[in-house]
Amino acid sequence: MEALYHASPFTGYVYPNETIIPWTVMIVIYPYMTGLVAGAFSVSSLYHVFGMEKFKPVARFALLTALCFMLFVPMTLLLHLGQPQRAFNAMITPHLTSAFAAFGYFAAFYAVLLMLETWFAFREDNVIRARNSTGLVRSFYRAITLWSDDISEKARSYDHKWMLTLAIVGIPSAHGLHGYVGFVFGSLKSREWWGSDMMPVIFLFSAIISGIAVLIVLYTLVCKVRKTPIDHACVRGMGGALWGFLMFTLLLEGLEFANVVYKGKEGIEIIMEYVTGPLFYRYFVFQFAVGAVVPIIILGLMFARDVRGKAFLVGAVISSLLVLMNVFLMRWNVVIGGQEIAKTMRGLVYYHDPGGREGLAAALAVLSGPFILLAILTRVMPPWKEMTEKG
């Protein structure tokens, strides 16, 4: 017992090497952003693949949103790595039995797929912009269309077929990309808080609700900034999807926690001390009650009372913001929370912001990057404005 380190009177005993939490807030932001990618792509596919007309106003915007977040996902891991310049070694020296190493291939494949689908989705509009522009602007649009000038019926049909094919392939790819994150945590038996067979499914469904929520907020904000009418049928459709997936996600998370408690494995005492102590407000109050139950009640009451118009819009945006908080806290409580329970299951440690490239400020900077890029891309390739001129 002399070799043990007493962290504090409350936390019990932990080994000295367990007082350092290696996976920081950057590893929280990483699954949060991949979840937004998968969720936004799912909304886009509801129109492009399944032909749900109510999602048409937000379909191409959702595609751009997924692309912008996907381009910043690797930044979180690169900032976390001690030697980020070595990251490419995982690509040129394959180690397919490692889930961490395989991620590079999955992410690269999906990023290329997203860029190709976006190219086909906007090619016709970009050709028209090139025709209606002059000078450097014309050269820019001709370059991003690969100097293609054909928008005939046959060319448009070709674009649609390729976009449909890529969207169909992209559905399992997007969900597999994020389900992989849950697979990594669920397969780590050294952490009782992580080692659950339900972890990949919970990560997947929480990704869907986060993507829907961010699109509701962004679409509403963009329409207000541009002073254009909001398609209430589209927001209502996204609100219904959010409500349904949120109830199922809450059920899965509740079952997972009940499973951990019911199994009562060795160390369950310290887990119960953790969830009823330091984790209580983050887990039960803010993640479950405020972030999940309250949005379910708000959306449920609005649908039951057939609330429409501005009232529904306000309720949907508030619910979406709470869901985004819920998913972020879920990621935090899994990544950071799992490390605050010592591997020996004899005590607790506390996370402190390390600052620097892995600190909270750096994480906020990375998280703001996709929104800045999205603001730029929506000006270069407006996704909400259907082109009427066929040149």
- Please write the tens of the pLDDT for every residue from 249-300: 999 998 888 887 887 676 677 788 788 888 889 999 999 999 999 999 999 9
Please give the model's pTM, rounded to 2 decimal places.
Answer: 0.89
User: CB–CB of 128/387 below 8 Å?
Assistant: yes
CATH number of 7-380: 1.20.1630.10
Average pLDDT over residues 312-316: 95
pLDDT (mean) for 355-372: 90
Condensed to tens digits (0 to 9), the pLDDT of residues 53-106 reads 899 999 999 999 999 999 999 899 888 887 877 878 877 887 777 777 777 888
Residue 13, pLDDT score:
66
pLDDT tens, 158-168? 889 999 999 99
Task: Check if the beta carbon of residue 192 is closer than 8 Å to that of residue 265.
Answer: yes
Q: Would you state the pLDDT for residue 149?
A: 87
Round the average pLDDT of the chain to a whole number and report it.
86
Per-residue confidence (pLDDT) for residue 9, from 0 to 100 = 40
Mean pLDDT, residues 134-150? 89
The CA–CA distances, whole Å, from 319 to 38, 205, 302 equal 20, 17, 11
pLDDT over 90 at 222, yes or no: yes
The answer on pLDDT for 385 being more than 90 is: no
> Does residue 28 register a pLDDT over 60?
yes
Is the pLDDT score of 245 beyond 90? yes
Q: What is the 3-state secondary structure (H, E, C) of the chain?
A: CCCCEEEECCCEEECHHHCCCCCCHHHHHHHHHHHHHHHHHHHHHHHHCCCCHHHHHHHHHHHHHHHHHHHHHHHHHHHHCCCHHHCCHHHHCCCCCCHHHHHHHHHHHHHHHHHHHHHHHHHHHHHHHHHCCCHHHHHHHHHHCCCCCCCCHHHHHHHHHHHHHHHHHHHHHHHHHHHHHHHHHHCCCCCCCCCCCCHHHHHHHHHHHHHHHHHHHHHHHHHHHHCCCCCHHHHHHHHHHHHHHHHHHHHHHHHHHHHHHHHCCCCHHHHHHHHCCCCHHHHHHHHHHHHHHHHHHHHHHHHHCCCCHHHHHHHHHHHHHHHHHHHHHHHHHHHHHHHHECCCCCEECCCCCCCHHHCHHHHHHHHHHHHHHHHHHHHHCCCCCCCCCCC
Tens digits of residue pLDDT in 104-136: 888 889 999 999 999 999 999 999 999 888 889
**Residue 147 above 50 pLDDT?**
yes
State what percent of residues in the chain have pLDDT above 70. 94
pLDDT band at 328 (very low <50, low <70, confident <90, very high): very high
Amino acid 391: pLDDT: 38
Q: What is the mean pLDDT of residues 11-23?
A: 72
The 10s digit of each residue's pLDDT in 343-361 is: 777 778 888 888 888 888 8
Stretch 141-153: mean pLDDT: 88
Higher pLDDT pick, 364 / 100? 364
Structure-token pair, residue 376 = 């730029």
Contact 110, 170 (CB under 8 A): yes
pLDDT at residue 389 is higher than 60? no
Evaluate if residue 329 carries a pLDDT over 50.
Answer: yes
How far apart CA 236 and CA 299 sit, in angstroms, is: 10
- Greater confidence (151 vs 388) lies with 151
Given this model, what pLDDT does residue 320 score? 96
**Whether residue 191 has pLDDT greater than 80:** no
Supply the pLDDT for residue 347. Answer: 77
User: What pLDDT sits at residue 214?
Assistant: 96
Mean pLDDT of 315-325: 96
The yes-or-no verdict on residue 4 having pLDDT over 60 is: no
Q: Please report which confidence band the pLDDT of residue 6 belongs to, taking 50, 70 and 90 as the band edges.
A: very low
